[in-house]
Structure 1
Amino acid sequence: MSWSKMKQNLESFLCPALIGRVEYRSTSYRYLPDKAGLCYLAVDKKNVLNMNDAASSIRWYKTELEIKNDSSIQIPISPAEMEAVRIETKGLVPEDRLAVIARGRKISEHAKELMSAQSALSKSNFVVVANHFLSSPIEESMESSDILLNILALVDRRVGKKRIVNLSEKIKLKHPSVQYFYELRLHTF
């Protein structure tokens, strides 16, 4: 599918409040075959998410330690996760320390997911993900761990207010760019 047709299809799924605010943009280098070009999302004429530029206005993480030390990331720990640590340590660890160990493990796992997700962003990946989004159910895009699928689903008109509000806990575990688009959509109601 050509870029113009894909852009038209994606924009037809935008929620009414974001039409004209969220734009899908792409540049290509016709005479430079080794250059892939750029693909980015713009909000209010400002480039917010560049698909292959680490210096975008959304925070990109460079190391796992950055993610672990970021206080804005809130990772909820379930009793089942604490119980798993208790069983693994054979009950020799104090109760308050169990939560610290479980949280550390979950943050480490979350950091690895974020790093792999943001390293995959490129123009060619955007085209593949957009095609997948256009041909799959919205629920699949909402539940996906892919950053772009989450963003495309959040700005979609098929996702209503109730579903957006119910996502508040899940969004805390997502990449900052997904959180940005969640807040953008939340403030359109």
Structure 2
Amino acid sequence: MSRNYYVLGELWFTTGDVYEFYKQLDKYYRKIKGTAVFWNYKTSLKLEVVFIYEIKGLKMYSPKWSKVKKQLKSFTCDSLKDRIDFHIINYRKAHDQLGRAVITVDKKEIFSMCTIIAEREMNRKEWNIREEQNVKYDIYDHKHNLEMGLQAHEMIKEEGILAQYDFFDAVEEYLSSPIDTSIKSTDIIIKVLSLIDRRVGKRTLKKLNESFETEHEGIRYFLKLRCDAEGIRFS
């Protein structure tokens, strides 16, 4: 028969222990993913708080990534198929083992999507928003904190600061959508993948060439690359 036991007593820990635990809680709560650990060796006290949030792109980890990469390569146009490649670089020491997603052209890194850099910039952006709106961070206001985090995330994505999981999510959406939908997407990664897609013909490329002046520089780079490879004058 199982029973519950209770022990009354005092636990001693430092403000540093509490502050370190608070920083972990704050970090993983913003991402809604990860494990915050409170550990005090003197009292043998260990407390774990687990945040679980499924990011669609995490399904693409090896061995599934190799299959997804083959799909991406199969959609790449003939004129660029041997020049463009996709790479996933994971950092084992990172808490979630997320690292970078890289698109290379002629074996040179052209588009790097680093989780560490993106999350650093996202946190900085969120605090800038709070300062502009004179809104203090309230650890208990979960809904508002989430909204602020999502707003900051969308803002850095528009600037082209992307994480590895942004790449995963975009690839999943790209592979499950018609090319006519993908080419009109506002997502930078989906737009890039569409521009090098063999299903996008010269007529479409010429039209895009006339209307892409205000697009992100990464998108314009790949449009120029495709146009040059197809013998289309890039304006």
Q: TM-score, normalised by structure 2?
A: 0.52
Cα separation, 2, equivalents of 1:132 and 1:47 = 23
Secondary structure of the 1:48 match is strand
- How many residues were matched structurally? 133
Q: Is the counterpart of residue 180 in structure 1 residue 201 in structure 2? A: no
The 5-angstrom pairing of residues 149-160 of structure 1 reads 149-160=190-201
Corresponding residue for 1:58?
none
Verify the 8 A CA contact 1:25 1:39 in the aligned structure 2: yes
Cα deviation for residue 20 of structure 1 reads: 1.4
Q: CA deviation at 1:141?
A: 1.1
Report 1:78-97 matches (<5 A): none
Alignment partner for residue 140 of structure 1, among 171, 181, 184?
181
Q: In structure 1, what is the equivalent of residue 105 of structure 2?
A: 43
Query: Whose RCO is larger (CA < 8 A, sep 6+)?
Result: 1
Residues in 2 aligned to 1:32 and 1:180: alpha-carbon distance in whole angstroms: 31
2:95 to 33, 36, 46: 33
Secondary structure of the 1:16 match is coil
Cα distance in 2 between the residues matched to 1:10 and 1:17? 15
In the alignment, which residue of structure 2 is the partner of 1:19? 81
Structure 1 match to 2:69: 7
Gap regions ≥5 residues in structure 1: 56-62, 64-112
Name segments (4+ residues, structure 1) moved above 2 Å. Answer: 29-35, 52-55, 113-116
Distance in 2, Cα, partners of 1:32 & 1:116: 22
Normalized per residue, the structure richer in strand is 2
Aligned residue runs from structure 1 range 57-76, under 5 A: none
- The code of the aligned residue for 1:12 comes to S
Change (3 A) 1:160 1:177: same
Bigger CA drift: 149-158 or 137-146? 137-146
Q: 1:128/1:121 Cα in 2 relative to 1: closer, same or farther (>3 Å)?
A: same
- CA change 1:159–1:45 in 2 (3 A) is same
Once the two structures are superposed, what CA deviation does each residue of 1:18-45 show, in whole Å capped at 9, x if it has no partner?
0110111111123543442111100000
Query: Which consecutive residues of structure 2, in runs of 5 or more, have no partner in the other structure?
Result: 1-59, 118-124, 126-153, 231-235
Decide whether the 8 Å contact of 2:115 with 2:165 is kept in 1.
no
Quick one: percent identity of the two aligned structures?
A: 35
- Alpha-carbon RMSD across the aligned residues, in angstroms, is 2.4
Distance 1:33 1:11 in 2: 30
For residues 36 and 145 of structure 1, the distance between their equivalents in structure 2, rounded to whole angstroms, comes to: 24
Secondary structure of the structure 2 residue equivalent to 1:158: coil
Query: TM-score when scaled to structure 1?
Result: 0.64
